[in-house]
Structure formats: C-alpha cells, structure tokens
Amino acid sequence: MNNLKIIDFDFDHKLLKKFIDFGYDIYKNDSQFIPPFREKIEFELTKQNPFFNDRIIRNFIIYDDNAIKGRISAIINKNMPNIGYIGYFECIDNYEIAKILLDNAMEFLKKNNIKEINAPINFSTWNKYRFVTEGFENESFILEPYNHKYYPLFFEKYGFTVLKNYYSNVVIDIDREMSKIEHIKQKALQNGYYIRNIDLKKVDEELLLLYNLTIEIFKNNFAYTEIDFADFKNLYSGLNYMIKAEYLLFAYDKNNNACGFLFGMPDYSLAFKKMNGKSDIFSKLKFLFYRDKAECFIMKTFGVKKTALFSGVGSLLVYTMYKNMKKNGFSKGIHALMIENNSSRKYGLGTTNIIKKYSFYKYEVLQ
C-alpha cells in the first residue's frame, strides 16, 4: 500500500456519497449485516440535520490508488467543548489504514482543544454508538450497533480504553420470567399503578409524552445530551407503521400522572435485510411481506421516574410486555443494550443468557 491518500471534507455531495457507500460495501459479503436506511444516514450527514446547529463534523476517506479502504468522522459538540467524538468508522482489516484514519481525526480534534475523545459515536447516544466486542457468533438484531470484530482491537491498540460496557440478554422462558415478577407487578396494581398502550391515532401527541418522559428519566444518565422535540420526533418517524400499539407502553400512577414507559418491537432483521437500506415503495412492500416472519422481540428502551422507583411499576411494565409478546406468538425476547450498572439488568438475572457485549471507549489527549 504505497499509494495511500486521505481526503477530508464536511458536506461535499460527491464525497459524501462515496463515504456513505463504503459503509455498505465493507459488509457486502456479510450475512449478519442489517443495512441501515440510506435516507437516514444521508440525512444525518447533511446540513439539513438539526444536529449541525451546535455540532461540527470533519469526515475523512482514505484511498489506496482509487479504491476506498476506510472512513472516519471527527465530531465536536459546541455545548461540550472539552469532549470530542469519533464516529462513522469503517475500515478494511489493516491496522496501518485504521491508524492513519485515527491520526487524522485526532489531529482535527486536538486543533480544536479537545481534551477527551469518546468513540465510537455518531453525534450522540441518540444515534448509533458503541462497538460489539463479544458475541459475534450470535445473530445480529435490529437496533443494535454492528461492526467487524477487529474494530475494537484496532481502537484498543491505538490507546483507547473502555469507558462503559453494555449487554444484551436473551429471554428463552417467558413464563418463568413472568412468574418471578408477578408478585411485584401485583403490588404495583394494588397501589393504583396502571398501563396503557400508545394511541397510534395520536402519534404526535404521544411522541411528545414519550419525549418529556425520556428527558426527565434519562437526563442524568451517562453520556446524555439533550435534544429538542423536532429531533426526537425525527428519530421515531414511521413508528406507527412499524409497531403495534401494545409495543409501546406508558405507566401511570393512581393520580393519572405518567411515570414510565417501555418500548420494544419485533426483530425485523429479515425484513430489513430484504429492504437492503432502501425505503421506496417496493422495499416497503418487502417489509410488509417479511415482517411477520420475526421470531424474537426486542425490548429496547425502558425507564421509570424517580418518584416511582421501588413501586413495582417497572416490573408491571415488563410483565405487561412479556404478556403482549406471548399473545403475539413470540417465544423469546431480548433485553437489549443494558449498561453495566443499570438496575434494569435485574430482569432475567440468573435465568437469561448474555448474547452480546458492547463497549464504549475514551482516549485521553496528552497535553
């Protein structure tokens, strides 16, 4: 590799297309890869994305002769001036290439007085972040990150250290899990807590409720950054076409105050693979045809207000979702992407299997 050349840019249309295309090409022979929607990636990386109101990005592509061998982005959040981010990393299995990409991203961030670098993360924790670090032998599922096995090894070799670990557990005996929390669920019901489904006829109104709950519940979480409702709404666009009402649950106390939620959806991996990152009418028809072939259910986002902690309402939410899963024919479920010290990991503790481990990294910039 004697003809290496690196190009940097921000919003150049032609370069951005090559940058995005490489994110698909690098996995073209990988049956585990679930192609993300191209429209979504294109929106994320163009000026139309509201994230650029307070963020700066510098993208890098590395060529060997005329063939792209890797890409990376350096990202700065103006509201967090000391922390920089590295995202959209994809690379062939060659550490020399990876190091050149990382060197260039690092240089850009250092010039902007960044003291700590977090990776991998595409803008914020509202977007894709973390590397899969264990469990590559297990099937990939929707809503989780995906990467080649050598990516975290390259980052660790470069000097990144693990900041946080996350886990996904599979539930293979739903009845057993329900029986373990039934008495806690019953306590919550006796104390006046109750559950309702999202009203898909009032999606905008319901998303505002979900947004307000999310902000209040997660505002003190690790690596949290606040987004406005317009950005949040965009993240959940098309939700009413993707789920049944009983897959997004809201919890209320006896005074009819919303105090928690649980969101999940069937693992549409097969349907998304058939769509191949496209969202035209024919691809949507493929989704409709293959969506009912999902065999597993993903429990993705779960939260309870501080005022309702230890009330049993969390178990009430989980129990209700288990019940809905069974009703819809799912024999197994995944508690997805749980941070290592989160209390939600208690669900299925000792009776479920860890199927994936993910890591989020940091790099301390030497002064």
Map out the domains of the chain with their CATH numbers: 4-165 (3.40.630.30), 173-351 (3.40.630.30)
Q: Report the pLDDT value the prediction gives residue 18, as an integer from 0 to 100.
A: 97
pLDDT confidence of residue 223: 83
Spatial contact of 277 and 271, defined as CB atoms under 8 Å apart:
no
**pLDDT tens by residue, the chain, 367 residues:** 678 999 999 999 999 999 999 999 999 989 999 999 999 999 999 998 888 888 899 999 999 988 999 999 999 998 888 899 999 999 999 999 999 999 999 999 999 999 999 999 998 898 999 999 999 999 999 999 999 999 999 999 999 999 999 999 999 889 999 999 999 999 999 999 999 999 999 999 999 999 999 999 999 888 888 888 988 888 887 777 788 999 999 999 999 999 999 999 999 999 999 999 998 999 999 999 999 999 999 999 999 999 998 899 999 999 999 999 999 999 899 999 999 877 666 666 666 789 999 999 999 987 6
- Whether the CB-CB separation of 121 and 129 falls below 8 Å is answered with yes
One-letter amino acid identity for 106? M
Q: Which of 251, 249, 356, 259 is nearest to 301 (CA)?
A: 249
**pLDDT (0 to 100) of residue 51:** 83
The H or E element that residue 104 is part of is helix 95-111
- For residue 329, the model assigns a pLDDT of 93
For residues 98, 99, 101 and 107, what is the CA-based torsion angle, rounded to 10 degrees?
A: 160
pTM recorded for the entire structure: 0.93
Helices 174-190 + 313-327 axis angle, to 10: 130
Res 237: pLDDT: 76
User: Residue 68: what pLDDT?
Assistant: 97
Yes or no: say if 141 and 302 are a contact pair by the CB < 8 Å rule. no
> Residue 162 has what pLDDT?
97
Which of 204, 226, 191, 176 has its CA nearest to residue 332?
176
Q: Which of 209, 208, 165, 229 is nearest to 361 (CA)?
A: 165
Look up residue 168 and give its two tokens: 């996904």
Give pLDDT, residue 236: 83
What pLDDT, on a 0 to 100 scale, did the predictor assign at position 239?
75
Q: Can you give the pLDDT at residue 148?
A: 98
Q: Would you say 168 and 334 are in contact if contact means Cβ atoms under 8 Å apart? A: yes
State residue 1's pLDDT score: 65
Q: What is the dihedral of CA 325, 329, 333, 336, to 10 degrees?
A: -70
**Residue the block writes with tokens 């009032």:** 202
Q: Percent helix, strand, coil in the chain (nearest 5)?
A: 40, 30, 35
Please say whether the beta carbons of 49 and 67 come within 8 A. no
69: Cβ contacts below 8 Å, ≥ 6 apart: 1, 4, 62, 63, 91, 92, 94, 97
- Residue partners of 361: CB distance under 8 A and separation at least 6: 118, 119, 120, 131, 152, 155, 156, 160, 161, 162, 163
Query: What does the buried/exposed string (b/e) look like for 25-41 if buried means 16 or more CB atoms within 10 Å of the residue's CB?
Result: ebbeeeeebbbbbbebb
Q: Would residue 32 be called left, alpha or beta, if left means φ above 0 and alpha means ψ between -120 and 50 degrees?
A: alpha
Which residues does 159 contact at the CB level (< 8 Å), separation at least 6? 363
Q: Which two tokens stand for residue 272?
A: 């998304």
